[in-house]
Structure 1
Amino acid sequence: MTLTFNPDKYKELLTAYLPKLIKSEVENEQALKIVEDLMHRECTPEEDELYQLLITLVEKFEQEYYQPIQPNNSVSMLLFLLEESEGSRDDLVSVLGTEDLVNNILNGQEKINTEQARKLGDFFNVESSLFME
């Protein structure tokens, strides 16, 4: 028996799951849960199409979000270490002093100075030179 693709059933799946471009880690995790559910069962052609779509969206997000850190990019290093340590901007404020300073650094409006790099190095248990450009 050959299974045929039913556009109406696919439309129902799209309406139920509302797949879209993934722009955050939370959205990525939600998509991965659906993917995992679909990969552990026998899928209809429509579910397989949804699965392929979600895989494509997850891969696109992860290629952009998890791309290798470029050398001498202190903000990327800072964001990477913050993510890996499951920290928050509040943690950075406690290390660096003010929310405005943290926002300026993360937005690229201000560079990390030697003293700030030392504090960040101590906080993350890494060499302070990782934060210097």
Structure 2
Amino acid sequence: MKLKPIKTEQDYQQALERLEKIFDTKPGSKEGDELEILGILIEKYENEYFPIDLPDPIEAIKFRMEQLDYSQNDLADVIGLKSRASEILNRKRKLSLDMIRKLNEKLHIPSEVLIQAY
């Protein structure tokens, strides 16, 4: 396949088909290089035409708590008081800058997710 920018839906579909055909090629080979470049082009097109919004901050906290098997008490240990953790999870209290920092540091939730309005 001749590599070129992906500008249309048809270009995108052709690129996906080619990617599927050469997916298991060896890195460093001619097709491996094509695979790498094709992946970059597809990613650029998808980011432009199929953007994914950041998750809701509270849902992100709940999801991360579930991943870590954290309880509300565990969250309270991270951000302060148990009542504060409850208020956050029930959307009755906004996250403070200090809480955002702690959640980012200890739960590894990206700060750009946590600073959004909810």
TM-score, structure 1 normalization: 0.44
TM-score, structure 2 normalization: 0.49
